[in-house]
Structure 1
Amino acid sequence: MAHIDLGFDEHESPGIVGLMRYRPETGGPLSALAEALLVAPNSLSRGERELIASHVSALNDCAFCRDSHAAFAAAQLEPGMILVEQVRAHPETAPISAKLRALLAIAAAVRADGKAVTEVLVDAARAAGATDVEIHDTVLIAAAFCMFNRYVDGLATFAPTDPAAYAESARRVVELGYVAH
C-alpha cells in the first residue's frame, strides 16, 4: 500500500501512473520529460532508450519501472523480452551493439554516482560509435530514471508482479508515447 492516500485504488494506476494521476501539475512535466527522452526523434532507437531506462531501474531495484520499461523495450526490440532479459542478466555479454553496451556502462555509472562517469567510459562509447548527443541523452535518461525510481519507491506505489500486467501499457506507450496527443 502506498505511503499516502492517492484517492483511488492503486491497482488501477500502479507505479508512477498513479502518482501522475494524483498530482497532474507535476505529472504533466514528468510525462513531457519521458516523452522527450524516450519517444522524440533520436539516433538511438526508442527500444534502445527504453532498455537504458529499464537497465537503470533494475540496478535501482525499482520493480515497477524495471518491469514496465522492460516491456516497453521488448515491444520495440528484436527478439523482444529475450534480449531484455539477456541485458538484465549480463549486459557485458548480451547480444547488443558495442555502442549500446558502452552506453549501458555509462548509464550504470550515472546510477552509482554522476562523478563515476569517467573519460574512460566516454572515450569507450565514442570509440564504439556513440555521438556526443547519444552520450548526453544516456546520462540524462539514467539521471531521470534515478529520480523516477526514487519517486515511485519513495511513496511505496503498487507494482504488479505479473509481467502480463505491463503488456497493455507497452502497447499504449509504443503507439501513443508518454503524453496523450
Structure 2
Amino acid sequence: MPFLSSLPDAAGVLDVMKAFPEAAAPLVDYHEVVLRGPSALTIGERELIAAYVSGLNACHYCRGVHGAVAEAFGVEEGVLTALLTDVGSAPVRDELKPLFAYVRKLTLTPSRMADADADAVLAAGWEEKALFDAVSVCALFNLMNRLVEGLGVKAPDDAYFAAAARRLTSGHDYSGYRRLIAHDHDT
C-alpha cells in the first residue's frame, strides 16, 4: 500500500508518474538518455548498474524491475546477486569491476570518493564518458530508490518484475512511459 492515498493500492512507478506528470516527464526523458542513449556501456550493463545500486539501497522494487530488464538485455541470471555479494569474484568482464566498485562506493560512501577511484576505472580502459555514464545511472537510481521507498511503492509479487521488464524492453526505450504519462494527463 503506497503512502499516498490518491494512488491505487498496488501502485507502481508508472502510477506515481501519472499522478505527478510535471515532475515525471523530465525524469522519464533523463531515463531515456542515461539508460538508452549512446554509451560504451551496453543497455544491459547500464540496467545492471541500476539494479546493483538498487540492491545496495535495499530497494526491492527497482532491483527487481531493473534486474529483470538487464537479463532481458543479455545479462545472465545470478550476476546481480554475485555483484552484490562480491564485485571482485562476480562473473562480469574484468574491466567492469572497477566501474561497479566505483558505483558501490558512490552509493554507500559518496563523501569518500577520490581521484584513485576514477583512476582505477580509467586504467581499466574506460573513457571519461563511460565513467560519466556509470555515475549518471548511479545518481539516477539513488534518486529513484528514494522516490520509490519514500512513497511506499511495492511490487505486488515477483511476477510483476517480468511484466515491468517486458514494458521496458518492447521498443527498447523509456519514451513509451512518456507517452503514457502525457496521454493520461490529457484525458
TM-score under structure 2 length normalisation: 0.87
DSSP 3-state at the match of 2:170: helix
Correspondence list, 1:11-90, <5 A: 11=10, 13-14=11-12, 16-79=13-76, 81-90=77-86
Q: 1:78 to 1:110 in 2, by over 3 A?
A: closer
Correspondence list, 1:110-129, <5 A: 110-129=106-125
Map of 2:5 onto structure 1: 5
Checking the alignment, whether the CA contact within 8 Å between 1:59 and 1:111 is kept in structure 2 is yes
Q: What is the deviation of 1:93?
A: 0.7
1:139 and 2:126 matched: no
Number of aligned residue pairs: 176
Q: What is the deviation of 1:126?
A: 1.0
Checking the alignment, whether the CA contact within 8 Å between 1:52 and 1:141 is kept in structure 2 is yes
Pick the aligned partner of 1:159 from 155, 162, 170.
Answer: 155
Please provide the CA RMSD for this pair.
1.6
Q: 1:62 to 1:78 in 2, by over 3 A?
A: closer
Pick the aligned partner of 1:174 from 161, 169, 178.
Answer: 169
Q: What is the deviation of 1:78?
A: 4.0
Q: Could you list the runs of 4 or more consecutive aligned residues of structure 1 that deviate by over 4 angstroms after TM superposition?
A: none
Q: 1:2 to 1:106 in 2, by over 3 A?
A: same
Q: What is the deviation of 1:77?
A: 2.0
Amino acid of the residue matched to residue 64 of structure 2? D
Q: What is the deviation of 1:41?
A: 1.9
Amino acid of the residue matched to residue 33 of structure 1? Y
Instruction: Please give the alpha-carbon distance, in whole angstroms, between the structure 2 residues aligned to 1:30 and 1:21.
Output: 12
